[in-house]
Amino acid sequence: MSKSSEGAGGALPDVPFHGRERLVAGIDQALAAGDCHAVTAALRVVMCELIRDPGVRLPDCVHSPIEDHYARRELYRSPTHGYSVVAMTWGPGQGTPIHDHAGCWCVEGVWEGELEITQFELVERDGDRFRFRSAGGLQAGPGSAGSLIPPHEYHTIRNADPRAIAVSLHVYEGPLEQCSRFEQASGEWYLRVDTALRTDQAA
């Protein structure tokens, strides 16, 4: 899959937008909370505050969907703490298969629109065959935020709206450049496919 040149062998991604410094300061402060559970709890609060803050406006590009895939635009990568901030734009009906986050914790907030998020429990594993069972889902609207902490990181995300786009902001423990997705084989059994993640140009 193609990737943009941002963060690849050059300067770290740092896309200017109104309120960027406020967003970075809030994330940095949450990282001082302690272990990953405390950090993600603090980040959920910060994320909800930032989404509702009229002084923070994501760049215009995040409101432009891409026709054949949901867009992943990396807006910032912390040179001090190593975390990555990625905006995702979901066109009508766009979504993901079951996937993981390669062992990284993540906090996800819905900036615009609504997303269906379904978590999955890993019941059994046989080599590259994984047996999953749905562990419940939720409809997440603007201003809501949730977290995923390994090993409870298997999930899908989908914009079920047939007309409107959705925008979400994701803070990852570190740059998420690859993950495992899971393709259904039969029943509750899925095959793991290691996948390089596409990064779309942010401008």
Q: How, if at all, do strands 71-77 and 155-158 pair?
A: unpaired
The answer to whether residue 179 is domain-embedded is yes
Taking a C-beta distance cutoff of 8 angstroms, is the pair 178, 164 a contact?
no
pLDDT band at 1 (very low <50, low <70, confident <90, very high): very low
pTM given for the model: 0.91
Edge to edge, the sheet with strand 106-112 lists 71-77, 84-90, 166-172, 106-112, 145-148
Range in 8-12, 40-44, 48-52, 56-60 with the lowest mean pLDDT: 8-12
- In three-state secondary structure terms, 159 is coil
- Structurally, the chain folds into a number of domains equal to 1
Taking a C-beta distance cutoff of 8 angstroms, is the pair 160, 116 a contact?
yes
The answer to whether residue 182 is domain-embedded is yes
Write down the pLDDT at residue 177.
Answer: 94
The answer to whether residue 6 is domain-embedded is no
Taking a C-beta distance cutoff of 8 angstroms, is the pair 187, 153 a contact?
no
Is the sign of the CA dihedral 64, 157, 35, 177 positive or negative? negative
Q: How far apart are CA 87 and CA 192, in angstroms?
A: 25
Write down the pLDDT at residue 14.
Answer: 82
Taking a C-beta distance cutoff of 8 angstroms, is the pair 156, 162 a contact?
no
Taking a C-beta distance cutoff of 8 angstroms, is the pair 50, 110 a contact?
no
What is the Cα gyration radius of the chain?
16
The answer to whether residue 77 is domain-embedded is yes
The answer to whether residue 130 is domain-embedded is yes
Q: How far apart are CA 181 and CA 176, in angstroms?
A: 13
Write down the pLDDT at residue 7.
Answer: 39
Q: Output the CA–CA distances (angstroms, integers) from residue 12 to 75, 77, 79, 85, in the order listed.
A: 9, 6, 7, 11
Write down the pLDDT at residue 162.
Answer: 95
84: phi then psi, degrees, rounded to nearest 5: -125, 140
The answer to whether residue 72 is domain-embedded is yes
Structure tokens at 63: 């409101």
- We report the CATH number of the domain holding residue 158 as 2.60.120.10
| Residue 61 DSSP one-character state | G
The answer to whether residue 203 is domain-embedded is no
Q: Which domain holds residue 114?
A: 20-196
Residue 28 has pLDDT above 70, yes or no: yes
The answer to whether residue 88 is domain-embedded is yes
